[in-house]
Amino acid sequence: MKNLLLTTACLTTLGSFAQSQKQPAAAKTNIVLLLADDMGWGDINANGNPLIETPILNHLATQSMSFNRFYACPLCAPTRSEILTGRYFLRTGVSSVSQGYENMRPNETTIAEILKANGYSTGCFGKWHNGAYFQQHPNQKGFDEFTGFLMGHLGYYYDAIYQHNDQDVKSKGYATDYFTDQALGFIQQNKDKPFFCYVPYNVPHSPFQVPEKYFRKYKAKGLDNELACIYGMVENMDENIGRILTRLEELKLEENTIVIFLSDNGPNTFRYNGEMKGKKGSVDEGGVRVPFYISWPGKIKPGETEQLAQNIDLLPTLLGLCKINFKPELPVDGKNLSSVILKNIKPFDRLIFSRQGFYPLNRSAGSVRNNRFRMVASAKDTLLFDLQKDPSQKVDVAKTQSNIRKELVAAYLKWERELVANYQPETTIEAGFADEKSITLPVQDAILSGKVKYSSIHPNQSHTENWVQNGDSIYWKLNMKNAGNYRIEIQYGCPVSEIGSEFQVRMNSITLPFTMSKPFDSEILPDRDYVLRAESVERTWSWMNVATGRVDSGELMLGIKLLEKQNQNAGMIKAIRLIKL
């Protein structure tokens, strides 16, 4: 165990980031990385679930090296940051899923940046969730093409408004189908040069919306609405993955393309998960163990491996498989498992650390496991489980295996202290960059005062309502890199019966008054939910020009304040936008 701890503590040597040695174009291998959202290990028929139908993933598993013990973070934004950087999520500035705690630090180097520097075309299609502002935008983090949404939550899965690079676009159809369409177009466009195609789907994350044929199919099996919808969402994604694999085959790219499939955390509800304990948010086995398949016809021999692996391994492993040399500016925590995958070496034991990222961090549970044991630590107790004998974590063996418990606790505490001590969240909104055309600030990142409240207990995708008291306000804290003149707009809804209220935009000591004078009936979109949602309902919105002003560089307190309410309510506000003039 002592040798194992010493090995685990060693990190990749620091150096300066550099492009790899030039390679012939034909030698560069394409990469397609497919990521599910809130899909559990048990949401695949091949993993023993008799109720769900996933023929494409079943087939992919037979064509892949399948990692039986692959681990993600308990929540999605931390997982994404680890996949992209090869570093533990707290190192990247990410700890949670909203209100700035999902923002990746700008100095982090992503796998997309490395591949782009080595001649790859790079595209991301789907859910980003590592920051919605300029420095964290996919286009600034190595992706030539981005179509999708930046926040952690999409409120409506049909005909939604997404971002295509820095422009809003109105989609047609169901989200998973649409993201697949964009990925297929990217692959087609780049078929004659190396590409990295990252497809982070947003299913089966709530709200629970799916095309009716899938829902009806699983209802006919006797499932409740929630499970019928979840399994329908997964089956629809399964079919869309089949479309991508078919396109690779049609373009004769199969043998030169690595395809990876995994999920970002455990299942978002309690359902079949191989009798493992825990779900999304938990540091038990069921909250962090996810499916992982890697396929490369002719290069990777299909089969299963018991090698312990996790998100941070993706970056060094993919670069190893593609023979891309790089020297990171920041330490990479992940291990290059290319030799295990190519069966040049046998699987080895290691420590896999898991941790919640709830803020403040001292409220978070954590765990660590090796090939046999998992130690789980929380504010209440420290438990030890023998996963070989007790995969469901029913019997605490801390007393009978006290030496193992002691060693794992010491390793975990050392790891945790280092990460927590150096954690620096990116909650300040950095804006006003020379190339930044506009700054959109959703209310989920605002500070609310008075009686103003969110439309849901979940800030993501919420709007503010209950503007009923004069003097109430919302405001954002920014750091403006450059001064400039801006047109200021708000995204709002206000029926005719509520127009006439007087507001002001505040920018430090500058106040710019405006009146909610233009009505817009914000209509709730047609109900496509099969399960009553906890999130805010999705509505139609409009933008209204409210002021023009100069914004100085430096710290900025940007706010919207209600001065004089005209009627019972002064409307609803979803965002503010500054457009550079």
Q: What range does the domain containing 467 cover?
A: 429-580
- Which residues does residue 575 pair with via DSSP β-bridges, in sequence order? 442, 491
Same domain, yes or no, for 308 and 435? Answer: no
With respect to residue 174, please indicate whether it lies within any of the assigned structural domains: yes
Structure confidence at residue 240 (pLDDT) = 98
Q: Calculate mean pLDDT across residues 165-178.
A: 96
Q: Calculate mean pLDDT across residues 535-564.
A: 96
Q: What is the CATH number of the domain that holds 242?
A: 3.40.720.10
Structure confidence at residue 358 (pLDDT) = 77
Residue 202 token pair: 């947003």
Same domain, yes or no, for 316 and 442? Answer: no
Structure confidence at residue 13 (pLDDT) = 29
Structure confidence at residue 2 (pLDDT) = 36
Residue pLDDT, tens place only, 268-310: 999 999 999 999 999 999 999 999 999 999 999 999 999 999 9
Q: Calculate mean pLDDT across residues 43-68.
A: 98
Same domain, yes or no, for 343 and 434? Answer: no
Structure confidence at residue 57 (pLDDT) = 98
Q: Is the pLDDT at 91 greater than 90, yes or no?
A: yes
With respect to residue 277, please indicate whether it lies within any of the assigned structural domains: yes
Out of 355, 382, 409, pick the residue that ends a domain. 355
Structure confidence at residue 379 (pLDDT) = 87
Contacts 24+ apart (CB under 8 A), 357-363: 357/73, 357/74, 357/75, 357/78, 357/89, 357/90, 357/94, 357/95, 357/96, 357/101, 358/95, 358/96, 359/95, 359/96, 359/101, 359/425, 361/90, 361/95, 361/420, 361/423
Same domain, yes or no, for 311 and 456? Answer: no
Structure confidence at residue 475 (pLDDT) = 96
Residue pLDDT, tens place only, 252-267: 999 999 999 999 999 9
Same domain, yes or no, for 134 and 251? Answer: yes
Residue pLDDT, tens place only, 514-534: 999 999 999 999 999 999 998
Structure confidence at residue 27 (pLDDT) = 61
Structure confidence at residue 345 (pLDDT) = 93
Contact residues for 438 (Cβ-Cβ < 8 A; gap 6+): 166, 577, 578, 579, 580
- CA dist., res. 400 & res. 381, Å (int): 16
Same domain, yes or no, for 81 and 206? Answer: yes
Residue pLDDT, tens place only, 200-245: 999 999 999 999 999 999 999 999 999 999 999 999 999 999 999 9
With respect to residue 529, please indicate whether it lies within any of the assigned structural domains: yes
Q: Calculate mean pLDDT across residues 409-430.
A: 94
Give the rounded distance of the alpha carbon of 176 from its chain centre.
15
* Contact present, 437 and 166 (Cβ < 8 Å): yes
pTM: 0.94
Comparing C-alpha atoms, which of 512, 396, 536, 399 is closest to residue 461? Answer: 536
Same domain, yes or no, for 40 and 173? Answer: yes
- CA dist., res. 568 & res. 99, Å (int): 29
With respect to residue 94, please indicate whether it lies within any of the assigned structural domains: yes
Structure confidence at residue 461 (pLDDT) = 86
**Count of domains in the chain?**
2
Q: What is the largest CA-CA distance in the chain?
A: 74
With respect to residue 424, please indicate whether it lies within any of the assigned structural domains: no
Same domain, yes or no, for 303 and 195? Answer: yes
Task: Report the 10 Å Cβ neighbour count for 349.
Answer: 14
Helix pair 225-250, 212-219: axis angle to 10 deg:
130
- Which residues does residue 148 pair with via DSSP β-bridges, in sequence order? 126, 163
Q: Is the pLDDT at 14 greater than 80, yes or no?
A: no
> Which residue shows structure tokens 């549970």?
365
Q: Is the pLDDT at 360 greater than 90, yes or no?
A: no
Q: What is the CATH number of the domain that holds 438?
A: 2.60.120.260
Residue pLDDT, tens place only, 60-71: 999 999 999 999
Structure confidence at residue 227 (pLDDT) = 98
Give the rounded distance of the alpha carbon of 222 from its chain centre.
32
Same domain, yes or no, for 444 and 550? Answer: yes
With respect to residue 385, please indicate whether it lies within any of the assigned structural domains: no
Q: Is the pLDDT at 45 greater than 70, yes or no?
A: yes
With respect to residue 402, please indicate whether it lies within any of the assigned structural domains: no
- CA dist., res. 221 & res. 486, Å (int): 56
Q: Calculate mean pLDDT across residues 27-54.
A: 96
Q: Is the pLDDT at 9 greater than 60, yes or no?
A: no
Share of the chain above pLDDT 70, in %: 95
Same domain, yes or no, for 312 and 451? Answer: no
Same domain, yes or no, for 435 and 312? Answer: no
Out of 355, 386, 409, pick the residue that ends a domain. 355
Q: Is the pLDDT at 248 greater than 50, yes or no?
A: yes
With respect to residue 408, please indicate whether it lies within any of the assigned structural domains: no
Q: Is the pLDDT at 25 greater than 50, yes or no?
A: no
- Consecutive H or E run containing 354: strand 352-355
Same domain, yes or no, for 211 and 331? Answer: yes
pLDDT mean across residues, the chain: 93
- What is the rounded radius of gyration, in angstroms, for the C-alpha atoms of the chain? 24
Contact residues for 138 (Cβ-Cβ < 8 A; gap 6+): 112, 124, 128, 146
Out of 292, 320, 355, pick the residue that ends a domain. 355
* Contact present, 320 and 336 (Cβ < 8 Å): yes
Structure confidence at residue 362 (pLDDT) = 79
